[in-house]
Amino acid sequence: MHERERIGRAGIGRQGSEGDSLAALRRRVEEIQHAGTPAAGAARGHMALGAPLDGALGGGLALGALHEVFACDKGNGAAALGFALALAAGTRRPVVWVRQDLAALEGGDLYGPGCAAFGLDPARLIVVQGADATDTLAAAEEALRHAVLGLVVVEPWGMPARLDLTATRRLALRAERSGVPALLLRSAAEPVPSAAATRWLASAAPSGAAGAPAFCLGPPAFALELARNRAGPTGRWIVEWNAHARRFAPAPRRPAAAPPVHRPAASQGPARADGPAPVVVGSFERRAG
């Protein structure tokens, strides 16, 4: 297999192999360090996501902190995973992605050529599989010890009791010590109290190539809500992912489709009571009320 299509992989189980697998993960990270990738140390800073988001984040996603992304509903697990892929592609350093086995079984495996098309070089990606939430969190904590990494994605499945407020505090502390950002990917879970610095809600948005017919596929598009931001405001955006620039950009406004001649326009129908309308504040949105 071509080097750029290879994804490093390590498995972690509960039947006597956990110690060996964690040791293998340490060796793999050490190989990356010896290959000449500069260590990040405990330096603080931000990972730029793109102008629409960076304003609310004070320059980008904070390094050395824990972040989390949830799917807005059960049908948007792919959107949450796509957001995680975008963050992984946004760093030029190696990325460790720790997945519980059920996450791969339910949501599908990571595909090397697909990662490359998204802007993430598979040669920089180390995938670790955990048998359950306990092993997944243990591997994530081990990975967060290594300052050479650009991101650690932690992907448990469902709502495991093991992933409580104390567990997220441990991840946040590990991230703070190494300066490496951690992302909790919760595709099949509901938001609960955690130590995360930011909480994102992701769903898919309409996409289309500029000037192309409506049925043509365009860049990946997301409806993102920053539901929690300990360092600043929250907001809502419709953005597209640019795999070449590895940044989010505002999605262009597309004209609404004209209603069929035998149907009234939406504005002519009865008013909907969906709650307060969003109020645009600068480059992001907040709900009034």
The residue extents of the domains of the chain are: 66-205
Q: What is the pLDDT along the chain (289 residues), one digit of tens a residue?
A: 333 334 556 555 444 455 566 666 666 665 655 554 544 433 469 999 999 999 999 999 999 999 999 999 989 999 999 999 999 999 999 999 999 999 989 988 999 999 999 999 999 999 999 999 999 999 999 999 999 999 999 999 999 999 999 999 999 999 999 999 999 999 999 999 999 999 999 999 998 766 666 666 789 999 999 999 999 999 999 999 999 999 999 998 765 555 556 655 544 444 444 444 433 333 334 444 4
Q: Which residue has the tokens 């339910």?
A: 106
The pLDDT of residue 260 is 57
Instruction: Say how far apart CA 197 and CA 215 lie, in whole Å.
Output: 38
Please give the structure tokens belonging to residue 57. 């984040």
pLDDT given for residue 274 in this prediction:
45
From CA 225, how far away is CA 234, in angstroms rounded? 8
The total of other beta-carbon atoms located within 10 Å of residue 103's CB is 24
Distance CA 33, CA 28 (A): 9
In Å, how far from its chain's centre is CA 115?
13
Smallest Cα–Cα separation from 156: which of 120, 128, 193, 117?
A: 128
* Cβ pair 226, 200 in contact under 8 A: yes
Give strand pairing partners of 186.
70
Q: Which runs of consecutive H residues, i.e. helices, occur in the chain?
A: 18-34, 51-57, 77-89, 101-107, 112-117, 133-143, 165-178
| Collapsed DSSP state (helix, strand, coil) of residue 272 | coil
**What is the pLDDT at residue 279?**
36
Check: pTM over 0.85? Answer yes or no.
Answer: no
What is the per-residue pLDDT for 276? Answer: 44
Instruction: Report which secondary-structure segment, H or E, holds 126.
Output: strand 125-130
**Residue 88: which residues within 8 A CB-CB, separation 6 or more?**
95, 97, 120, 125, 150, 151, 153
> How many angstroms separate the CA atoms of 202 and 87, rounded?
13
Let me know: does 94 contact 124? Beta carbons within 8 Å.
Answer: yes
Task: State the number of CA atoms in the 13 A half-sphere of 45 facing the CB.
Answer: 10
Residues 97 and 84: their CA atoms lie apart, in Å, by 10
66-205: CATH homologous superfamily? P-loop containing nucleotide triphosphate hydrolases (3.40.50.300)
pLDDT at 283: 38
End-to-end CA distance of the chain: 55
Would you list the DSSP string of 196-249? -SEEEEEEE-----TTS-TTS--S-EEEEEEEEETTS--EEEEEEEETTTTEEE
